[in-house]
Amino acid sequence: MNILLIDDHKMLTESLKMLLELDDEVAVVDVINSPDNLQASTYKEYDIILLDLNFGEVSDEKGLTIAKELLEEDPSLKIIIITGNTGPAYEFQAKQIGASGFFDKSLGVKELLKVVKGVYSGREYFSERFTTGSNAVLKYQDRIYELLTKKEVAILRRLWQGETILEIADNEGISKRTVSNHINHIYDKLDVQSREQAIRLASQLGYFDPE
């Protein structure tokens, strides 16, 4: 089994590579630390691609963007998103774009190998907390939420950082009215009444960590 590991944490990837290659069923583990200029055609030789959710900032879900682009080019690729951020929003999106799994790094290499072997044999690895039939909503603690857009998440993050509507408008390059509209949409989607409630719930859903 040939594995490609795409993660910008060099010490982590080298350790993970060494541990994975100890398994008799793993022939090769190649490592890429930069996600730039990836093309699906380059990776057909790999049976499994382990792709980190975050590159750079903790809140940057670039791994999902990369996975989506690769899978649009070649839907047969078996990509497992690996992350320390296990909030349901990102896991849900990983499933919707066609990834084969979503793995919590804290579970360790032994569990990761089980997941890799399962995906290699044709199974998927996701938790059982999603609704069916819609790619625009997710289920969390028995409630249904419409997914926030990237712009809405960016604005909510700025609210958490204490920015005013005027500051958000200037930083995002949009009007104050547009900012207010986005905030109203966020409140409606999350069914909340205040920025504090929105930030708390968005954190629980995995959009970002305000700690």
The enclosing domain of 113 has a CATH number of: 3.40.50.2300
Are 30 and 88 members of one domain?
yes
The more confident residue out of 45 and 41 is: 45
At a CB cut-off of 8 Å and minimum separation 6, what does 176 contact? 165, 166, 169
The more confident residue out of 141 and 114 is: 114
Confidence of residue 169 (pLDDT cuts 50, 70, 90): very high
Q: Is 34 within the bounds of a domain?
A: yes
Cα dihedral 40/45/46/49 (nearest 10): -10
Backbone Cα Rg of the chain: 18
What is the pLDDT, as a whole number, of residue 92? 82
The more confident residue out of 16 and 9 is: 16
Confidence of residue 58 (pLDDT cuts 50, 70, 90): very low
Q: Is 24 within the bounds of a domain?
A: yes
- Integer Cα distance of 93 and 207 in angstroms: 11
The more confident residue out of 11 and 171 is: 171
What is the pLDDT, as a whole number, of residue 11? 81
What is the pLDDT, as a whole number, of residue 32? 85
The more confident residue out of 12 and 99 is: 99
pTM above threshold 0.95: no
Lowest-confidence range among 108-122, 124-138, 190-204? 124-138
* Mean local confidence (pLDDT), 99-111: 91
Confidence of residue 103 (pLDDT cuts 50, 70, 90): very high
What is the pLDDT, as a whole number, of residue 37? 57
CB 77 within 8 A of CB 71: yes
Are 90 and 13 members of one domain?
yes
Are 102 and 195 members of one domain?
no
Are 163 and 109 members of one domain?
no
Domain extent for 168: 148-205
Are 114 and 155 members of one domain?
no
The more confident residue out of 124 and 40 is: 124
Are 11 and 103 members of one domain?
yes
pLDDT of 110 strictly over 70 = yes
